Amino acid sequence: MLLTRKRRRALIAGVATVATAALGIALSTQLASAQTTLRGAADAIGKDVGVAVNYNLLQNDATYRNTVATEFNSLTAENSMKMEVLQPSQGNFNFSQGDAIVDFAKQNNQSVHGHTLVWHSQAPGWIQGLSGTALENAMADHINTVMDHYRGDVESWDVVNEVVSDNNGQLRDSFWLNGLGEGYITTAFELARAADPTVDLYMNDYSIDGINAKSDKTYEIAQGLAAQNLIDGVGFQAHLILGQVPSNMEANLQRFTALGLKVRVTELDIRIQMPADANELQQQANDYRRVAEICAGIADCSGVTIWGLRDGDSWVPDVFQGEGAPLLFNDDYSKKPAYDAFLEGLGGDGSDPGPTDPDPTDPDPTDPDPTDPDPTDPDPTDPDPTDPGPGNGCTATLSVQSPWNTGATYEGTVTAGQNLTGWTVTWTWPGSERISNAWSISGTLDGATVTASDAGYNGTLSSGQSTTFGFNITKPDGATASVPTVTCTAR
C-alpha cells in the first residue's frame, strides 16, 4: 500500500518536472499556484508534509482530524510510539495508541514516520537499570517487536534519537552509552536493518540544523553508518527560535545528502517570546517559508514535519517559559501568516483563504464593522486635502538578497504612510529579468511590468508599519540584478 502511494506521488512529481521542462517556468508557476493545501503542494513536488499527532486529540476532536487529513500527507506520533508507551514493562507491549494513528493514516492515504526506537528520554524505568547483554537483548527485542508489528505501515524510523551531546560535540551521556559503550548506535542500526530492510532508517536530533560542533559529530556518525549501508537519512528536528533559521541550514543539509543520504526536517516549530505581535508573526512566516524552500530545493529532502497542529497543542510553552505560538494554526484552527508562507515555500498558493478560514465571506476579519465608513481608511479615488499621507499612501523598495549568474532572490518592503487596508506595487524591469516565483504578493508577476498586491494577510498596515514580500527572478543574459523604482498605492 505504501509503495503504491509513494509511486503515485513520485509520478505526479515526475509529470510536473517533464511538463515544466517542456513548457517553461510559466506552466510550473501555474501548476504550483493551483495548490491551496499543504498536502496538495507537497504532493505536487513529491515531498512529505507531516504533522506530529496527539493521540487524544485524534480520538476526540473532529476538526483536528479533518485538518490533519486535509493538510498533511505524513504523520508522526508525537508520543505514542515512544518506548515508555509501547513497552511500559519488560515484554509487555501496548500498541493501541500507535495502531490508532496508523489506522487513521491508512484511511487518509498518509505515510507514517516512526518516532522513535532508541532514546534516552521517555524510556521506561525498567530498561534504564539494565546494562551489557541484558540491555542489548532488550534493545533487540524492542526493535524487532516494534518494527515487526508496524511492517508495511511505517515507512521510515528514527532508529536513534538525540545521541549527540549539546555542548561538547561528543556522544550524549545516557544509559545507552553507559550500558553498551559507543557501539550501541551501530548495533541499533544493524538490528533495525535486519528487522526490516525495506524501511528508511534515520538518526534524528535537535540543534543540528546549522553547521556547528553538534552537527559535525552527527555528520561523522552518519558517514560511518552510511559506509556500512546501515542508514538512509538524517532528521533535523528544527525546534527553532524566531528569526534564527540558520543561514547555513541549506548547506548543512546538502553535506549530508552528499553522503548519499536523505535529509528530513522532522519536528519543525518556531517559537516566539509571548505575546507575539503582528511583526513577529510576519517574521515567523518568513522563517517557515525559508525552511520549506530549503527542503523543496533539495531533491533528497524527503519532507518537512511540523511538531504539532495548533499553537495550543505545542510542547513549547511547557518547556520554554514565556515563549509560544510556534505552529501554523491558531487554537480555533484558523491559519496563521506562517501557514500561507509555508504553503508558498512548498510551491503552493498562500493567497487563497482556504477551507479553514473562519469567515471567508468577510473581506477583512480584523475590521469589526466593514459597513461602517472608517475615516482613517484611505480611498485613493476620493481626494482628501486633509490626508497627510506621503505619495499614494505607501512607499516600497526592492533589494537584492542573493544574486547568482542567471537569477536572484529579492526582498520588497512596503511601508505605510497612513493606515491602510491593502497595497499595490508596480515596477518595470529594465532588461530580461522576469519573476519565476513570488511569495506574500499576488497579481501580474511574470511580464516586464509587474503589478502586484498584498497577499491578504499582509495587507492591513498602520501608518509607519512595514511588511515584506519576496520573489525570485531569472535573468538569462547573466546581467547584474537591477533594482527598479517601485510605485506603491494604498487601498
d(CA 21, CA 475): 17
d(CA 254, CA 471): 23
Our finding on whether 66 is near ligand 9MR (CB under 6 A) is: no
d(CA 215, CA 220): 9
Our finding on whether 315 is near ligand 9MR (CB under 6 A) is: yes
Please pick, from the candidates 17, 56, 89, 121, the single residue that binds ligand 9MR as defined by CB under 6 A: 121
- Which residue, 74 or 395, is less far from ligand 9MR as judged by CB? 74
* Contacting ligand 9MR within 399-428 (CB under 6 A): none
- Which residue, 189 or 206, is less far from ligand 9MR as judged by CB? 206
* Contacting ligand 9MR within 294-313 (CB under 6 A): none
- Which residue, 165 or 466, is less far from ligand 9MR as judged by CB? 165
Kindly state the smallest distance separating residue 52's Cβ from ligand 9MR, in Å: 7
Cell numbers at residue 463, please?
501608518
- Give the count of alpha carbons within 13 A of 31, CB side only: 20
Dihedral sign (CA 125, 126, 127, 129) = positive
Q: Which residue is nearest to ligand 9MR (CB)?
A: 315
Our finding on whether 110 is near ligand 9MR (CB under 6 A) is: no
Kindly state the smallest distance separating residue 446's Cβ from ligand 9MR, in Å: 42
Q: Residues binding ligand 9MR: what is the number (CB under 6 A)?
A: 9
Contacts of 419 (CB under 8 A, 6+ apart): 376, 377, 378, 461, 462, 463
- Which residue, 42 or 327, is less far from ligand 9MR as judged by CB? 327
Length of the chain, in residues? 491
Binding mask 194-213 for ligand 9MR (x = CB under 6 A): ------------x-------
Residue type, 370: P
Residue type, 26: A
* Contacting ligand 9MR within 322-361 (CB under 6 A): none
d(CA 420, CA 458): 11
* Contacting ligand 9MR within 76-95 (CB under 6 A): 78-79
Measured CA distances, 402 to 147, 268, 293 (Å):
45, 25, 14
- Which residue, 306 or 488, is less far from ligand 9MR as judged by CB? 306
Please pick, from the candidates 122, 170, 432, 480, the single residue that binds ligand 9MR as defined by CB under 6 A: 122
Q: Helix, strand, or coil here: 104?
A: helix
Kindly state the smallest distance separating residue 60's Cβ from ligand 9MR, in Å: 16
Residues 333-337: contacts with CB under 8 Å, at least 24 apart: 333/63, 333/64, 333/67, 334/358, 336/281, 336/284, 336/285, 336/311, 337/281, 337/282, 337/284, 337/285, 337/457, 337/458
- Which residue, 52 or 105, is less far from ligand 9MR as judged by CB? 52
Opening angle at CA 195, ends 192 and 201, nearest 5? 35
Opening angle at CA 115, ends 339 and 254, nearest 5? 65
Kindly state the smallest distance separating residue 282's Cβ from ligand 9MR, in Å: 25
d(CA 76, CA 58): 12
Active site residues: 162, 267
- Which residue, 51 or 461, is less far from ligand 9MR as judged by CB? 51
Contacts of 482 (CB under 8 A, 6+ apart): 429, 430, 431, 433
**Peptide bond connecting 275 to the previous residue in cis, omega within 30 degrees of 0:** yes
* Contacting ligand 9MR within 240-269 (CB under 6 A): 267
Kindly state the smallest distance separating residue 376's Cβ from ligand 9MR, in Å: 43
- Which residue, 61 or 367, is less far from ligand 9MR as judged by CB? 61
Dihedral sign (CA 97, 134, 143, 315) = positive
- Which residue, 122 or 401, is less far from ligand 9MR as judged by CB? 122
Kindly state the smallest distance separating residue 383's Cβ from ligand 9MR, in Å: 56
Kindly state the smallest distance separating residue 324's Cβ from ligand 9MR, in Å: 14
Q: Helix, strand, or coil here: 83?
A: helix
Kindly state the smallest distance separating residue 29's Cβ from ligand 9MR, in Å: 36
d(CA 455, CA 423): 9
Kindly state the smallest distance separating residue 23's Cβ from ligand 9MR, in Å: 43
* Contacting ligand 9MR within 211-240 (CB under 6 A): 237
DSSP string, 238-291: -EEETT---TTHHHHHHHHHTTT-EEEEEEEEEEEESSP-HHHHHHHHHHHHHH
Where do contacts with ligand 9MR occur on this chain (CB under 6 A)?
A: 78-79, 121-122, 161, 206, 237, 267, 315
